[in-house]
Amino acid sequence: MNTEQTLDLKGFTCPIPLLRTKKVLKQMAAGDVLKILITDPNTKGDLNRFCQRGNYEMIDEISQGDHDVFIIRKCDKE
Any idea what the CATH number is for the domain that residue 16 is in? 3.30.110.40
pLDDT at 1 over 60: no
CA-CA distance, 75 to 20, in Å (whole number)? 18
Q: Where in the sequence numbering do the catalytic residues fall?
A: 14
Strands 33-38 and 4-9: parallel
Q: Which long-range contacts (CB under 8 A, 24 or more apart) does 23-27 make?
A: 25/56, 25/72, 25/74
**What is the pLDDT of the chain when averaged over all its residues?**
92
In which region does residue 54 sit, left (phi positive, over 0), alpha (psi from -120 to 50) or beta (all else)?
beta
Domain residues for 41?
A: 4-74
Tell me, rounded to whole angstroms, the distance of Cα 66 from its chain centroid.
17
Given this model, what pLDDT does residue 77 score? 66
Number of domains in the chain: 1
Given this model, what pLDDT does residue 76 score? 82
What pTM does this model have?
0.90
Give the chain's radius of gyration (CA, Å).
Answer: 12
What's the mean pLDDT in 45-55?
93
